[in-house]
A = this chain, B = another copy of it.
Amino acid sequence: MTENRVYNFSAGPSVMPEEALLEARRDLLNYKGSGMSVMEMSHRSPVFAEIFDSTQEKLRKALSVPDDYEILFLQGGATLQFAAIPMNLSCGKTADYAVTGNFSNKAAKEAEKYCTVHLAATTAPEHNRIPKQNELSLTPDAAYFYYCANNTIYGTEWQYIPETDAPLVCDMSSDILSQPVDVSRFGLIYAGAQKNMAPAGLTVVIVKKDLAGKELPFTPQVMSYKTMIETGSMLNTPPCWCIYMLGLTLDWLLERGGVTWMQELKRERAKRVYDFLDNSRFYLAHAEKDSRSDMNVTFRTNSPELDAAFVKEAAARGLVNLKGHRIAGGMRASLYNAMPMEGVDALVAFMKEFEREHV
């Protein structure tokens, strides 16, 4: 890292590629001769339209999004999608929800305002594993099956795409762009940008076009997928700066080999930490082995006091934001796309050292 930067293990918003930040800084007052910052551009100007369109194209390329899917750039975060999804897709039917953590639980609770929710699976209260296909209780003729691909708080990640008759709806907020994904298996994929994509304030929705157009009558216009498809995400002013930063992140990703490259990298990052954890009797990993997240490694020592000391001493070494989420405790190392391997190695070295001192 340059410029006295730290290794930032925050679960989100989180570390971004330094290359993207450097380019943003270079063009901050004058984007490519336009005479203005991207922050100052009319969203309807040709110079911004080019940024917008090329970012959509790069995302379509990175995830091989088929033509019958629309990519939307929205606002409101995953939390607004918790409502938008049943508003647009439930059509008076029952929707199946797999609850494997905090955010899928919140999504299911919010959906109850708009449709009948069937709990297709739950891993509460431990949330240390992902249910297997044969554990899923599926409703015949469900409106959709909803799950969250990666659970940031508990550090678990679906290792397979569920088989269902209903359209799959997936919250990929915390593992999008970390691996290839067969988009054609899904009805809708969405992600808050603030982990693997861009600064907080942008929500990416990838929706099969033929699912749109059946929204409940009281759906706000800006939450209607149909309206946002028809207006190219420009019914109103989009979060322009975040879209620009997503474009820079995608440049960085695509120039290096895209999601195939990233998948190798993310596996290697996670492996280095999990291998160490598995050989340690001092630290305890939270998630079951076959459900482990490559993005968020959750672990603890045998005492909350030691956990607190770990977090504090790590921060003094420039390894920051390692404290676990308040509802899970312990530690959490988020190893998102932009985390350099040197950061992972520095973390493991510190874990070793801390163990030696406190065992």
Contacts and interface: CB of A to CB of B under 8 A. Distances in A.
A114 interface: yes
Interface in A304-359: 318, 320-321
A16 B45 contact: no
A40 B25 contact: no
A76 interface: yes
Contacts of A6: 34-36
A221 interface: yes
Interface string A33-66: 1111101111101000000000000000000000
Nearest to A192: B237
A98 interface: no
Interface in A1-37: 2-6, 8, 10-16, 18, 21-22, 24-25, 28-30, 33-37
Nearest to A236: B79
Interface of A: 2-6, 8, 10-16, 18, 21-22, 24-25, 28-30, 33-37, 39-43, 45, 75-80, 82-84, 110, 113-114, 192, 194, 199-202, 216-218, 220-223, 235-242, 245, 318, 320-321
Given A36-B8, A221-B82, A201 B42 contact: no
A222 to B, nearest CB: 5
A40 B13 contact: yes
A8 B29 contact: no
- Residue among A218, A241, A242 having the largest count of chain B Cβ atoms under 10 Å: A241
Given A4-B33, A10-B40, A241-B241, 4 more contacts: A25-B28, A39-B245, A80-B223, A199-B241
- The secondary structure that dominates the A interface is loop
A34 B315 CA distance: 11
A2 B30 CA distance: 10
A39 to B, nearest CB: 4
A238 B36 CA distance: 25
B82 A13 contact: no
Given A76-B222, A80-B76, A321-B45, A28 B21 contact: yes
B13 A240 contact: yes
6 closest A-B pairs by CB = A6-B35, A201-B239, A83-B220, A79-B236, A39-B199, A75-B75
A45 B11 CA distance: 11
B40 A235 contact: no
